[in-house]
Structure 1
Amino acid sequence: MTGWLYEWFVAPFTAFGFMRNALYGSVLLSLSACPVGVFLTLRRMSLMGDAMSHAILPGAAMGFLLYGLDILPMTLGGLLAGLLVVLSAGAVSRLTIQKEDASMAAFYLIALALGVLIISLRGSSVDLMHVLFGTVLALNHDALLLISAVAFATLLLFFIFWRVIIAECLDPLFLRSVSGLGSPVHFIFLALVVLNLVAGFQALGTLLSVGIMILPAVTARFWAKRVASMCILSALLGILSCLAGLLLSFHFSLPSGPAIILSGGVFYLFSAMSIMLRKH
């Protein structure tokens, strides 16, 4: 029995370096992206996170077009494109009658189509799948360094602006009436969303990176009431989802990114059904 457990749960990570790298990257990503997802859900901006994950695609695609599958150009391109889309959508919502969610939807559709078009100019369908769905089992030292830097920056900014971020999330009008930090903190938070989506892009691609950000966060809301508890629980659920997805991918030859997101989906469905059965 012990030998079976070791072969199933431990041996893949002790025997193969690519599995260890995938686990390290996934854990770091969960520690930073899942708490960001908690605040996205509290702000009722979950679908905006999905839109922003598509917004990084044209920048990453341009980096791919010019330099191939080089992590630095694709990361910088994705970061610049994401920030440009966020700022453009914000400007349209403030200078016209259109709401921010509608302008974000318009920009993300444009960005998604543009990104796919750019990739198709040079790459193959395999390259397109790599950019859209990621390769968590191919994380290298540079990718791990990037994810580590994003996790450190995210946790540091949360530590510094924790109370202000919570206040801006729960009652932004009150915060802006008593402090000048409302608007800056809002854009800092959006920058953190883009940063974590760019980091997630290295492992899960543009289409799935938002999954590790949102699914553990919405699952944690079933079980926790305090914001800090939600953040901690969401990170733990993210780590468990990544661990389960990696093991399923290894033992059953499944694509790793979708396996991770579907594992998170199982936790969500189990939690939702548990709450519904408890109430009835």
Structure 2
Amino acid sequence: MSVLNDLYTNLLQPFGEFAFMRRALVASVALSVSAAPLGVLLSLRRMSLMGDALSHAVLPGVAIGFMVGGLSITAMALGGMLAGMLVVALAGLISRATTLKEDTSLAALYLLALALGVMLIASSGSQRDVLHILFGRALGVDDNGLLLVAGVATVTMLSLAMLYRGLVLETLDPLFLSTQDHGRLSTIGWQQAFLMLVVLNLVAGFQTLGTLMAVGLMVVPAVSARLWWPTLTGQMVLAALQAGLASVAGLLISYQWDTPTGPTIIGCTGVLYALALLLAPDGWLRRYLQPWQAPRHRVG
């Protein structure tokens, strides 16, 4: 009985007693379910670093929303979404008008956006405000923030369900896509639609994980899932499960040891990634012990 009591006290009691823990749990799990599958597609497209760039690109919009509405989640989310979409559109425009590739122009734009965002926040708020926006405050998620995350998660899952075939074809074989009915929307159009979903999830995640950490819940579980599972749907499901597990563990660790919540959650995804590197079928330990075993055929 003492073991069960200790288990309840350490794992379940915080969520049962405190409303802020329940809100943080629901927001983190909803974000895990919507963002991690997008991370799988990002990694297959070899655009994981682009996701990181986009997470920084939303910062000026968040800063302007903060200057206009204070810590209003609606103002900051709307500003961040508009800024992210503007940076994506500018990067695409620059790549079509010059010889620069889209990832190169995006790298330049996100650095400028990051610098501008920090300057705007620092000029109109305190150092604490800067830290909250950069690194999040999951334990401070309010009802409006929870509705934002839930709404974005719903839109993302419905969009993935409706656009799944086209997004997968555009990721793996864009030439074949152009010959199908899905190809009526250009390859650039499919990519822009996908990047808009990424921006939406980064905006939804900035209050929980911060603009610097939001991409971590999207990318790290996806990379880990690719080591465990060979098929695309399996990777998406496993990435969402790992992101959810890391969120729960990160919230509990943050509550018990008073550590920053966003970095703690991302740290937990890192632990799961390290285990995958060692123990997964495509990980280091299995290949080291069985070097003669042929690698499994998998997507990407």
Instruction: Establish whether TM, by shorter chain, passes 0.5.
Output: yes
> Contact between 1:154 and 1:192, CA under 8 Å: does it hold in 2?
yes
Is 1:271–2:276 an aligned residue pair?
A: yes
**Which ranges of 4 or more aligned residues in structure 1 deviate by more than 3 Å?**
none
- Secondary structure of the residue aligned to 1:94 is helix
- Secondary structure of the residue aligned to 1:98 is coil
Match of 1:63 in 2: 65
Is 1:215–2:220 an aligned residue pair?
A: yes
Match of 1:180 in 2: 184
Partner Cα separation in structure 1 for residue 175 and residue 32 of structure 2: 30
Match of 2:243 in 1: 238
Q: What is the aligned residue count?
A: 280
Task: Tell me the CA shift for residue 18 of structure 1.
Answer: 0.6
Aligned positions of 1:244-255 closer than 5 A: 244-255=249-260
The normalised TM-score by structure 2 is 0.92
Match of 2:104 in 1: 102
Aligned positions of 1:50-129 closer than 5 A: 50-129=52-131
Gaps of 5+ in 1: none
Aligned positions of 1:143-222 closer than 5 A: 143-178=145-180, 179-181=183-185, 182-222=187-227
- Secondary structure of the residue aligned to 1:206 is coil
Match of 1:14 in 2: 16
The normalised TM-score by structure 1 is 0.98
Partner Cα separation in structure 2 for residue 144 and residue 250 of structure 1: 19
Partner Cα separation in structure 2 for residue 140 and residue 68 of structure 1: 14
- Secondary structure of the residue aligned to 2:237 is helix
- Secondary structure of the residue aligned to 2:210 is helix
Task: Tell me the CA shift for residue 177 of structure 1.
Answer: 4.2
Q: Which has the larger radius of gyration?
A: 2
Task: Tell me the CA shift for residue 142 of structure 1.
Answer: 0.5
1:28-79 deviation line (CA, Å, top 9, x unaligned): 0001000011100000000000000000000000011121111111000000
> Contact between 1:176 and 1:183, CA under 8 Å: does it hold in 2?
no
1:151-190 deviation line (CA, Å, top 9, x unaligned): 0110001111111110001112331244222332221101
Q: Which has the higher helix share?
A: 1
Gaps of 5+ in 2: 289-300
